[in-house]
Amino acid sequence: MTQPTTLPCGESFNLAEFDPSFSGGMERKRQAKAETKDNLEALLDLQARLYAENRHSLLVVLQAMDAAGKDGTIKHVMGAFNPQGVRVTSFKVPSKLELAHDFLWRVHRAAPPRGMVGIFNRSHYEDVLIVRVLGLAPEALWRKRFDHINAFEKLLSDHGTTVVKIFLHVSPEEQAVRLQARLDTPGKEWKFNPDDLGARRQWADYMAAYEEALTRCNTPWAPWHVVPADRKWYRNLAVSRIVRRTLEALNPSYPDPEPGLEAMVIPPVHWP
Ligand code: ATP
Ligand code: MG
């Protein structure tokens, strides 16, 4: 049994055909965990080279419904990176100042500079998702954003940023279990936000919005991936694979040492 995580460019697709509880035929967590661990070790090494080379950057965009595991993915997968070379940005309801600018203003500032990994916990895609579903902007305005997004991501890509976008695909049934657990588990209540129930009621509208956004903005320079997210261990494995593959394709390398260093010996310092 297979289920691709990549989407064919230019073709529309039906999210309902992607099984959120897919686990690659792996029934056992242990098997997945071993490969995940190996991937995470590789990520640390690849990141060290990306940082040292200082030529490219990596941007990982995470989008999902509530409780699909964006936070868990950041903790368990992105946590493998050296914090010095990573910046996580969470995009919330825009401030007054942000709303006074175009929708990409706050996003562009958060794009990772050379050598760095940037993680977006939600992103500019909110401006064609929640904005569309809740009618926060007229359709004539948000519709143009697909082209704006593609052009923006092309700009990032042309300037050396590899953009990889991941949709964590959770089922409404699994979301119910997780939201209920937030209510019932001491220490988790703070995570419960009654607004999440509103978004949950509009599940079909969100899925339609995701389908169009993922179709219209699935480009060769910034592809979308659909990751089954009902099983956390498979989600971590799938995301670690995607990020590892992406960095391996980039193949960053340590810069060559300055000529003449081979013969250099560090002189002693006598102290005190
Ligand atoms: P958590 O897992 O902690 O719930 P979260 O990403 O849902 O994480 P919240 O602070 O609960 O964080 O929610 C942020 C909210 O901001 C989301 O409902 C999101 O849809 C909304 N949001 C983000 N960007 C925009 C935007 N451009 N316009 C309107 N709403 C936005
Ligand atoms: Mg939330």
Q: Is residue 48 included in any domain, yes or no?
A: yes
C-alpha distances in Å from residue 76, one per residue of 69, 88, 132, 211: 10, 14, 31, 27
What residues make up the domain containing 75? Answer: 15-252
Beta bridge partners of 192: none
Q: Is residue 163 included in any domain, yes or no?
A: yes
Give the CATH number for residue 234. 3.40.50.300
Measuring from atom 12 of ligand 1, which residue has the nearest CA?
92
Determine the atom of ligand 1 nearest the C-alpha atom of 196. Answer: 18
Q: Which of 122, 125, 168, 210 is the pocket-test mutation for ligand 1 (most atoms within 8 Å of CB)?
A: 122
Provide the pLDDT for residue 263: 86
Show the tokens assigned to 129.
């998702």
Q: Is residue 267 included in any domain, yes or no?
A: no
> Does residue 86 sit in helix, strand or coil?
strand
In short, whether 126's Cβ falls inside 6 Å of ligand 1 is yes
Show the tokens assigned to 138.
């007229």
**CA separation for the pair 106, 110 (Å, rounded):** 7
Q: Is residue 106 included in any domain, yes or no?
A: yes
Provide the pLDDT for residue 6: 78
Sign of the CA dihedral 133, 108, 88, 255?
positive
Q: Is residue 260 included in any domain, yes or no?
A: no
Residue 144 phi, psi (nearest 5): -65, -20
In short, whether 137's Cβ falls inside 6 Å of ligand 1 is no
Which one, of 61, 160, 59, lies nearest residue 112 by Cα? Answer: 59
Residue 247 phi, psi (nearest 5): -70, -35
Going by the DSSP 8-state scheme, the letter that residue 68 receives in this structure is S
156 by Cβ neighbours in 10 Å (0-12 / 13-18 / 19+) ranks as buried
> Does residue 222 sit in helix, strand or coil?
strand
Show the tokens assigned to 64.
């999902």
Beta bridge partners of 224: 165
Residues near ligand 2 ion, CB 5 Å cutoff? 66, 193
Q: Which of 61, 62, 63, 66 is the pocket-test mutation for ligand 1 (most atoms within 8 Å of CB)?
A: 66
Q: Is residue 2 included in any domain, yes or no?
A: no
Distance 212 CA to ligand 1 centre (A): 20
- Domain total in the chain: 1
Q: Whole-model pTM?
A: 0.96
Q: How far apart are the first and last CA of the chain?
A: 69
Kindly give the confidence (pLDDT) of every residue in the chain, 272 residues in length, as a single tens digit, with 9 standing for 90 and above.
Answer: 567 777 777 788 889 999 999 998 776 778 899 999 999 999 999 999 999 999 999 999 999 999 999 999 999 999 999 999 999 999 999 999 999 999 999 999 999 999 999 999 999 999 999 999 999 999 999 999 999 999 999 999 999 999 999 999 999 999 999 999 999 999 999 999 999 999 999 999 999 999 999 999 999 999 999 999 999 999 999 999 999 999 999 999 999 988 888 889 999 999 99
Q: Is residue 89 included in any domain, yes or no?
A: yes
Provide the pLDDT for residue 33: 93
Amino acid in the structure at residue 53: E
Return the ligand number nearest the Cα of 67: 1
Q: Is residue 8 included in any domain, yes or no?
A: no
